[in-house]
């Protein structure tokens, strides 16, 4: 038996970033631990170490993030992995000259309107998203966890910074509805949340059949940290590089994640 903080994540677009080199910015179907911890850090109001020049401050903020990464275990139940979407993304920037050619732009407007078009360079990228994905997250506190689960729960209800599902352009489209519960295993802790369930009472009952077809939540995917309490058998163990070690150096350690399909029968 363990205590869990459980909450739901739904948005029309979400993006759980994978290893991204250059132009291609892929996304995984399962929430990454770094992104979920980032969301918790935003709720708590932890700062990004790369937004200060004070060395001591940086060190302290870096330590706070590290404590989060080490302090909690994570499990996820993905009832709707969502359809993939690749967004073709372009951004224009003027060449940065040096010496006498160096131009100073006060705003983005100046950057785009003062320069002749041929002096603007286009940067391309392809960014993966998931559409209409729904997942439930359970966190448990490990030895030395920096905050009790109740604190995380309260901060999620009244966060310090805006929350988002992987990218800042992906705001949650349902309240996270956090709860702290004691359960025997992650599969029990994660029970009772589903998009269809979440929208009951929110969407007109007469409308439900129309979107029901779209919400096949009968075969959820479970993902969990290897120290989870569970009676599920891992069908697959993957190594994801999503355990934050240094925000400043943008470094992530490898984390082992177990995965299994698990039709609970009560999944709706």
Q: Hey, which residues between 187 and 226 contact another protein (CB under 8 A)?
A: 199, 201-204, 207, 210-211, 213-214
Torsion of CA 65, 1, 217, 75, to 10 degrees: 20
* DSSP per position, 157-206: HS-SS---SSSTT---SS----EEEEESSHHHHTTT--HHHHHBTTB-GG
Q: Does 21 bind another protein (CB under 8 A)?
A: no
H, E, C per residue of 26-65: CEECCCCHHHHHHHHHHHHCCCCHHHCCCHHHHHHHHHHH
Q: What is the DSSP letter of 143?
A: T
- Binding segment for another protein among 145-153, 174-182, 224-232, 253-261 (CB under 8 A)? 174-182
Q: Does 261 bind another protein (CB under 8 A)?
A: no
Q: Does 10 bind another protein (CB under 8 A)?
A: yes
Tokens representing residue 40 in the block? 């918790």
Q: How far is the CB of 114 from another protein (least distance, A)?
A: 4
- Binding segment for another protein among 18-26, 81-89, 136-144, 232-240 (CB under 8 A)? 81-89
Q: Does 235 bind another protein (CB under 8 A)?
A: no
Q: How far is the CB of 258 from another protein (least distance, A)?
A: 30
Mode of pairing for the β-strands spanning 236-246 and 221-225: unpaired
- Binding segment for another protein among 143-151, 152-160, 179-187, 227-235 (CB under 8 A)? 152-160
Footprint of another protein on this chain (CB under 8 A)? 10-13, 43, 48, 50-53, 83, 85, 87-89, 91, 104, 106-110, 112-115, 131-132, 156-164, 168-177, 199, 201-204, 207, 210-211, 213-214, 248
């Amino acid at each position: 038996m363990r205590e869990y903080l459980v909450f739901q994540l739904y948005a029309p677009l979400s993006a759980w970033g994978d290893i991204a080199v250059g132009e291609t910015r892929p996304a995984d179907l399962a929430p990454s631990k770094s992104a979920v911890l980032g969301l918790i850090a935003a709720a708590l109001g932890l700062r990004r170490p790369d937004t200060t020049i004070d060395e001591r401050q940086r060190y302290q903020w870096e330590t706070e993030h590290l404590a989060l990464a080490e302090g909690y275990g994570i499990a996820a139940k993905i009832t709707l992995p969502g359809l993939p979407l690749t967004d073709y993304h372009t951004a224009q920037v003027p060449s940065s000259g040096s010496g006498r050619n160096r131009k100073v732009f006060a705003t983005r407007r100046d950057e785009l309107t003062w320069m002749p078009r041929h002096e603007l360079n286009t940067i391309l990228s392809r960014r993966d998203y998931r559409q209409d994905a729904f997942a439930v997250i359970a966190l448990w506190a490990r030895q030395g966890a920096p905050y009790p689960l109740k604190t995380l729960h309260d901060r999620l209800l009244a966060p310090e910074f805006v929350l988002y599902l992987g990218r800042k352009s992906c705001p949650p489209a349902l309240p996270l509805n956090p709860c702290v519960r004691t359960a025997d295993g992650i599969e029990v802790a994660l029970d009772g949340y589903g998009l269809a369930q979440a929208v009951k009472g929110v969407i007109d009952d007469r409308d439900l059949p129309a979107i029901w077809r779209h919400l096949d939540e009968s075969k959820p995917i479970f993902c969990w940290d290897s120290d989870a309490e569970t009676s599920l058998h891992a069908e697959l163990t993957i190594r994801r590089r999503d355990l934050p070690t240094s925000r400043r150096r943008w470094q992530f350690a490898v984390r082992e994640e177990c995965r299994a399909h698990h039709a609970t029968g009560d999944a709706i």
